[in-house]
Amino acid sequence: MNRTKIEDVKHNEGELWLGREMDDQRLRWRVVLVSWVLCVGDYLHEKARLM
C-alpha cells in the first residue's frame, strides 16, 4: 500500500515539475526572442547610421 502512495506522490511531483519546466522554457524562449530582436534592432540602427 505504502509503495503505491509514494509512487503516486512522485508522479504528481513529476507532473508539477514538468509543468514548471514548460513554463520556464516558454519564458526562456520569450527572453531569447526579445534579446534577439533588440540585438537585430541595434545592429540595423548602427548600420543605418554608418550608411
Helices (H), 1-51: 2-50
Residue 14 CA: distances (Å) to CA of 19, 23, 26, 28, 49: 9, 14, 18, 20, 52
Quote the pLDDT of residue 6.
65
User: What pLDDT score was predicted for residue 15?
Assistant: 72
The pLDDT assigned to 12 comes to 72
pLDDT by residue (tens digit) across 7-50?
776 767 767 766 777 778 888 899 999 999 999 999 999 999 98
